[in-house]
Amino acid sequence: MKKLENLNIEGTVTLTSPVNLRSEVPVTEPVADLVYQSRETVNSILSGNDPRLIVVVGPCSIHNVESALEYAKKLKTLSDKVNDRLLIVMRVYFEKPRTTVGWKGLINDPYLNDTFDISEGLRLARKILIDISDIGLPVATEILEPITPQYISDIISIAAIGARTTESPTHRQMASGLSMPVGFKNGTDGGLQVAIDAMSASKAAHRFLGIDSEGKTCMVKTLGNQSGFLILRGGRSGPNYNAESLEDATKRLSAAEVQPRVMVDCSHANSNKDYTKQSVVWNDVIDQRIKGNDSIIGMMVESNLNPGKQPMTEDPADLKYGVSITDGCIGWEETESLILDAYSKLAPLYS
């Protein structure tokens, strides 16, 4: 009989189960308290009961543990200064969706050398999330692989579904079962409908194939996630952070009977993929919030210790410290300046 399956499969590698990894790298009680309280705070902001603005800020992707923790310590110090007006959540992204090919992130290739030690990537990601939470910062990440949440979702305060996957039924079903608020990015073309549909779909209960905590294939039954929001990141049609775009988004969300709550991504198409223009987006949206647009619940900024980006090198040891290897990021000094300036500008709203 002719071979009919696995024609393009080189092999498989068994991974540790989620329950085993959680046992190996456990959540402490202080971390559990931080995650619980930060999720509650985000939900309170989404419902309009907390007037603070969420700021999801951090590297485009995490590739170096030491620099990530140094960044987190700086961000925690800054967070303590602005916490009464801004809820600072560190952007800690491990999975990178690629338009074609490229490095897929720390979970997929933790050693940056095409060895693809995913078991180590999952362990490392979980350890980083716990270490940053121990510093006192809630974390946000994009969920790309539907299996990944079983390994790390207990440490996540905000999840994002990316522009390339918002239209995916698999990701909408997954989001319906996640335990934290979820932001859905508009499509890569700039269209909002796929994200609005995703918010509606994720509110509903679903039944789908997945894995349980022991890594066994199972049917997952969800209750639906009521804590969804829209993330505007622009698209091929251009930026969508201006007042007219925000007004249109709010009207369409309300018409679809989902929360008219919007987070603006200052990077990607909103800055025309030029990291130096993130400040333009940031200042425009802060001004809109000051003028009374309370549908704006947050901002997202790609930031690192040092500005810019760098190409991958054959030897990861040759990479510059604190510089992104994916999208360009603003540096720490500019990040601190933007956040402190916004804190000052927002003062009249809290008097």
- Count the alpha carbons within 13 Å of 286 in the hemisphere toward its beta carbon: 23
Which pLDDT belongs to residue 99?
A: 63
Strands 86-91 and 139-142: parallel
Helix (H) or strand (E) holding 194: helix 193-203
Q: Which residue has the tokens 């200052």?
A: 266
Find all residues with CB under 8 Å of 313, minimum gap 6, and list them.
319
Q: Give the integer Cα–Cα distance in Å for 132 and 94.
A: 14
As a CATH number, domain 22-350 is: 3.20.20.70
More confident residue, 97 or 326: 326
Q: Give the integer Cα–Cα distance in Å for 40 and 119.
A: 31
What is the per-residue DSSP string for 63-111?
--HHHHHHHHHHHHHHHHHHTTTEEEEEE-------SSSS---TTT-TT
- Region 2-11: mean pLDDT is 92
Find all residues with CB under 8 Å of 74, minimum gap 6, and list them.
305, 332, 336
**pTM summary value:** 0.97
What is the tens place of the pLDDT at every residue in 185-216? Answer: 999 999 999 999 999 999 999 999 999 999 99
Which pLDDT belongs to residue 100?
A: 64
First to last CA, the chain: 78
* 199 closest CA partner among 176, 232, 165: 176
Q: Where are the domains of the chain?
A: 22-350
What is the tens place of the pLDDT at every residue in 9-30? Answer: 999 999 999 999 999 999 999 9
Q: How many C-beta atoms lie closer than 10 Å to residue 48's C-beta?
A: 12
- Residue 308 in this model has a pLDDT that exceeds 70: yes
Which pLDDT belongs to residue 234?
A: 98
Which pLDDT belongs to residue 103?
A: 87
Q: Give the integer Cα–Cα distance in Å for 56 and 339.
A: 11
Q: Give the integer Cα–Cα distance in Å for 297 and 295.
A: 6
Contact between residue 76 and residue 85 where contact means Cβ atoms under 8 Å apart: no
Q: Give the integer Cα–Cα distance in Å for 268 and 256.
A: 26
What is the tens place of the pLDDT at every residue in 111-126? Answer: 999 999 999 999 999 9
Q: Give the integer Cα–Cα distance in Å for 245 and 234.
A: 10
Instruction: Provide long-range contacts, Cβ within 8 A and 24+ apart, for 238-244.
Output: 238/190, 238/269, 239/269, 239/270, 239/271, 239/272, 239/281, 240/186, 240/190, 240/192, 240/269, 240/270, 241/266, 241/270, 241/281, 241/284, 241/285, 242/284, 243/288, 243/293
- Residue 102 in this model has a pLDDT that exceeds 90: no
Q: Which residue has the tokens 């930031």?
A: 303
* 265 closest CA partner among 296, 221, 292: 296
What is the tens place of the pLDDT at every residue in 156-171? Answer: 999 999 999 999 999 9
Q: Kindly report the average pLDDT of the chain as a whole number.
A: 96
